Amino acid sequence: MTALIILVVVLLAGLAVGLVLKSREGRARETRDMGAAAGAGDARAGLLAAAGVTPDTPVILHFSADWCGPCAAVRRVVEGVVTGLADSPQPPRDVEIDIDAQPALARELNVLSLPTTFVFDAAGRERFRISGVPRAADLHSAVRPLTVPQVA
SS3 per residue for the chain: CHHHHHHHHHHHHHHHHHHHHHHHCCCCEECCCCCCCHHHCHHHHHHHHHHCCCCCCCEEEEEECCCCCCHHHHHHHHHHHHHHCCCCCCCCEEEEEECCCCHHHHHHCCCCCCCEEEEECCCCCEEEEEECCCCHHHHHHHHHHHHCCCCC
Q: Per-residue pLDDT for 8 more than 70?
A: yes
Query: Region 45-63: what's the mean pLDDT?
Result: 91
Q: Say yes or no to pLDDT of 37 above 50.
A: no
Sorted by where each starts, the structural domains of the chain and their CATH numbers stand as: 2-147 (3.40.30.10)
Q: What is the pLDDT of residues 75-134, one digit of tens each?
A: 999 999 999 999 999 999 999 999 999 999 999 999 999 999 999 999 889 999 999 999
